[in-house]
C-alpha cells in the first residue's frame, strides 16, 4: 500500500511539474516585448549575423555571457526573440525542478503525500510570486544568473556532505557564469569562497577547496576577461561608468535620491517584501518571504551553530546580504533588479522545510494557506494567447514584410504598424544591412 502511494505521489509530482512548466511557457510566449529587451537581442543579432564583437564594434552595457549564448542560438535558429526567451525559460524551468527536488528530499522520512505537498507548495509560492511573474520569460539578464546561483548553492550543499573538488569546481563555474551574465552578482563570490572553509575536512585542506572554487570562477569569467583585454577602456566605460551617467545631472533629484542607502533599503521593504498594489495589480513577495522566515531562518542558524540544521538554508543566510548589496548597486533601482531574492528565499525554504516541526500532515495547511492567497491575488497575471498571436510569430511575419520591402524602400518610409517597425531589426534571415536601418529602438 505504501509502495503504491509512493509511486502515485511521484507520478503526481512529475505531472505537477509538467503542468507548471507548461503554464510558465505559454504565459511567457504570450507576453509583449519590453523596451529594455533590445539591449540583449540586438547585440546577439549583430554578433551572429556580421561577427561584430561587443565593446569593440558597438557598446554593450552588460557583461557578455548572455550575448554570446543568444548569438550561438541565433546561428542555429533565425528566430531571435524566441531563442532568447527559450533560453530564459529553460533556466527558470531547471531552477523550478531543482527547488522541487530539494524540498522533496528535505522532507525525507515523511509520508509520500506530505513530501509532494511540501515540495509543490514551495514551487507554487515561487511561480505565484508577483516579482517572479513580472520578470520571467523576458530576455533580461535576471533568470539565467539566478538559476546559476541556485546551482552554485546546490553544488556547495553537495560538497558539504561529500567533500570533493569537482563539486567546488562546478560551484565556482556556476558562480562565474552568473557574474559574467550580470555584474551585480559579483559580491556573492566572497561568501561562497569563505563557505569552503566550513567543509568537514582538515583545516589545511579547506584552502585547496577554496582555491578550486576560485579557479572555477576565473575560468567561467574567461569571456569577460577576453573582452577586457581586447578593449579595456570600452569595457570599463560600458560596465562601470555608463550606468552612472545620470548622476552627472545635478538637476535630476530623483536619481540622486536613489543613491542614498537607507532609501534603497526602504524601497526593498516597501516595494519588494511588503504587500501592495500598483496599477490594480498585486505586488510584494511577502508570502514567499514569510515562508522563508518560517522555514529557512531557524534551520540555517542551527546548522551554522551545531551543524544539525539545513546547510542549504545556512548558505542562503551567508549569501543573502551580499546578494542584496549587488541588487542595490545600480544607481536607479527597478523591481526586477531584486528578482534574485525570490529564488534565494525559495531555495532556503526548500532546504529548510524538512527541519521544522510544524510541517506534518496537519501542519501542511499552514503552508498551503499562503499558496492559496498568492494564487488568488495573482490570478490576473495568468493570460494566454494562441501561438499565432505570440510576439515571436508576429515579429517573424512583420519582419519578413520589412525585409522584402527594403528592396525598393527604406524601412523608415514603410507604412507598417509602429510595433512592427520597432522589431524589424530582429527579422530572421534578413540581410546584414537590415540591422542598421533607421528604425525606432526597442
| DSSP state string for 85-100 | HHHHHHHHHHHHHHHH
Q: 231-237: long-range contacts (C-beta < 8 A, 24 or more apart)?
A: 231/55, 231/56, 234/55, 234/56, 234/59, 235/55, 237/59
The C-alpha cell that represents 295 in the structure block: 522555514
Confidence of residue 241 (pLDDT cuts 50, 70, 90): confident
Is it the case that residue 123 has pLDDT exceeding 50? yes
- DSSP at 200: S
Q: Which residue has the higher pLDDT, 249 or 408?
A: 249
Q: What is the pLDDT averaged over residues 415-420?
A: 37
**Distance linking the first and last C-alpha atoms of the chain:** 58
Q: Count the Cβ atoms, other than its own, within 10 Å of residue 151.
A: 21
For residue 108, what pLDDT is reported?
87
Whole-number percent of the chain with pLDDT over 90: 51
Q: Which residue has the higher pLDDT, 244 or 172?
A: 172
Confidence of residue 28 (pLDDT cuts 50, 70, 90): confident
For residue 398, what pLDDT is reported?
56
Cα–Cα distance measured from residue 178 to residue 339, given in angstroms and rounded to the nearest whole number? 14
For residue 38, what pLDDT is reported?
86
Give the sign of the dihedral formed by CA 116, CA 119, CA 121, CA 124.
negative
Is it the case that residue 376 has pLDDT exceeding 90? no
For residue 210, what pLDDT is reported?
96
Q: What is the pLDDT averaged over residues 418-442?
A: 37
Residue 40 neighbours by CB under 8 Å, 6+ apart: 62, 66, 67, 70, 84, 139, 140, 141
Give the range among 14-18, 26-30, 89-93 with minimum mean pLDDT: 26-30
Q: Which residue has the higher pLDDT, 275 or 116?
A: 116
Cα–Cα distance measured from residue 351 to residue 181, given in angstroms and rounded to the nearest whole number? 26
Is it the case that residue 362 has pLDDT exceeding 70? no
For residue 359, what pLDDT is reported?
63
Is it the case that residue 419 has pLDDT exceeding 60? no
Q: Is 111 helix (H, G, I), strand (E, B) or coil?
A: coil
pLDDT digits (tens, 9 = 90+) for 309-352: 999 999 999 999 999 999 988 877 788 899 999 999 999 999 99
Cα–Cα distance measured from residue 104 to residue 60, given in angstroms and rounded to the nearest whole number? 41
Is it the case that residue 377 has pLDDT exceeding 80? no
Q: What is the mean pLDDT of the chain?
A: 83
**Beta bridge mates, 277:** 282
Give the range among 53-62, 80-89, 182-191, 273-282 with minimum mean pLDDT: 273-282
For residue 273, what pLDDT is reported?
87
Residue 283: φ, ψ to 5°: -130, 165
Q: Which residue has the higher pLDDT, 413 or 370?
A: 370
**If we measure between CA atoms, which residue out of 431, 413, 433, 434 comes closest to residue 423?**
434
Cα–Cα distance measured from residue 181 to residue 178, given in angstroms and rounded to the nearest whole number? 5
**If we measure between CA atoms, which residue out of 313, 323, 223 comes closest to residue 268?**
323
pLDDT digits (tens, 9 = 90+) for 146-172: 999 999 999 999 999 999 999 999 999
**Beta bridge mates, 276:** 283
Q: Where are the domains of the chain?
A: 2-384, 401-436
Q: What is the pLDDT averaged over residues 25-42?
A: 85
Give the sign of the dihedral formed by CA 42, CA 48, CA 50, CA 55.
positive
Cα–Cα distance measured from residue 255 to residue 258, given in angstroms and rounded to the nearest whole number? 5
For residue 200, what pLDDT is reported?
92
For residue 440, what pLDDT is reported?
33
For residue 110, what pLDDT is reported?
83
3-state helix, strand, coil in the chain (%, to 5): 75, 0, 25
pLDDT digits (tens, 9 = 90+) for 289-316: 988 998 899 999 999 999 889 999 999 9
Q: Is 277 helix (H, G, I), strand (E, B) or coil?
A: strand
**Beta bridge mates, 281:** 278
Is it the case that residue 264 has pLDDT exceeding 60? yes
For residue 319, what pLDDT is reported?
97
Q: What is the pLDDT averaged over residues 263-271?
A: 87
Cα–Cα distance measured from residue 373 to residue 290, given in angstroms and rounded to the nearest whole number? 12
pTM of the model: 0.86
Amino acid at each position: 500500500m505504501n509502495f503504491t502511494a509512493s509511486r502515485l505521489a511521484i507520478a503526481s509530482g512529475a505531472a505537477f511539474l509538467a503542468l507548471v512548466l507548461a503554464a510558465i511557457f505559454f504565459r511567457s510566449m504570450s507576453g509583449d516585448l519590453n523596451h529594455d529587451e533590445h539591449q540583449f537581442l540586438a547585440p546577439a543579432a549583430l554578433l551572429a549575423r556580421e561577427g561584430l564583437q561587443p565593446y569593440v564594434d558597438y557598446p554593450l552595457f552588460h557583461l557578455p555571457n548572455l550575448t554570446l549564448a543568444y548569438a550561438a542560438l541565433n546561428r542555429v535558429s533565425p528566430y531571435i526573440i524566441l531563442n532568447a526567451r527559450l533560453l530564459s525559460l529553460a533556466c527558470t524551468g531547471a531552477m523550478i525542478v531543482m527547488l522541487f527536488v530539494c524540498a522533496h528530499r528535505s522532507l525525507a522520512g515523511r509520508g509520500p503525500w506530505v513530501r509532494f505537498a511540501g515540495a509543490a507548495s514551495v514551487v507554487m509560492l515561487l511561480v505565484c510570486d508577483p516579482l517572479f511573474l513580472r520578470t520571467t520569460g523576458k530576455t533580461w539578464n535576471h533568470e539565467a544568473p539566478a538559476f546559476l546561483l541556485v546551482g552554485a548553492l546546490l553544488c556547495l550543499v553537495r560538497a558539504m556532505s561529500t567533500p570533493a573538488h569537482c563539486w567546488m569546481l562546478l560551484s565556482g563555474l556556476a558562480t562565474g557564469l552568473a557574474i559574467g551574465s550580470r555584474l551585480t552578482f559579483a559580491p556573492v563570490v566572497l561568501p561562497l569562497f569563505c563557505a569552503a572553509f566550513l567543509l568537514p575536512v582538515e583545516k589545511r585542506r579547506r584552502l585547496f577547496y577554496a582555491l578550486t572554487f576560485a579557479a572555477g570562477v576565473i575560468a567561467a569569467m574567461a569571456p569577460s576577461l577576453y573582452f577586457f583585454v581586447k578593449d579595456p577602456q570600452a569595457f570599463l566605460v560600458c560596465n562601470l561608468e555608463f550606468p552612472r551617467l545620470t548622476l552627472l545631472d545635478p538637476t535630476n533629484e530623483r536619481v540622486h535620491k536613489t543613491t542614498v542607502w537607507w532609501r534603497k533599503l526602504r524601497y526593498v521593504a516597501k516595494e519588494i517584501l511588503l504587500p501592495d498594489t500598483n496599477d490594480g495589480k498585486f505586488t510584494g513577495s511577502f508570502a514567499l518571504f514569510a515562508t522563508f522566515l518560517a522555514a529557512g531562518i531557524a534551520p540555517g542558524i542551527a546548522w551554522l551553530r551545531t551543524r544539525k540544521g539545513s546547510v542549504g538554508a545556512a548558505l542562503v543566510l551567508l549569501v543573502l546580504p551580499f546578494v542584496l548589496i549587488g541588487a542595490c548597486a545600480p544607481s536607479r533601482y527597478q523591481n526586477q533588479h531584486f528578482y534574485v531574492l525570490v529564488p534565494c528565499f525559495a531555495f532556503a525554504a526548500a532546504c529548510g522545510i524538512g527541519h521544522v516541526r510544524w510541517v506534518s500532515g496537519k501542519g501542511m495547511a499552514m503552508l498551503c494557506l499562503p499558496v492559496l492567497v498568492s494564487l488568488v491575488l495573482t490570478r490576473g497575471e495568468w493570460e494566454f494567447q494562441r501561438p499565432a498571436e505570440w510576439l515571436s510569430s508576429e515579429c517573424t511575419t512583420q519582419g519578413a514584410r520589412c525585409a522584402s520591402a527594403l528592396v525598393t524602400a527604406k524601412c523608415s518610409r514603410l507604412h507598417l504598424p509602429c510595433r512592427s517597425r520597432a522589431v524589424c531589426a530582429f527579422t530572421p534571415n534578413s540581410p546584414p544591412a537590415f540591422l542598421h536601418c533607421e528604425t525606432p529602438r526597442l
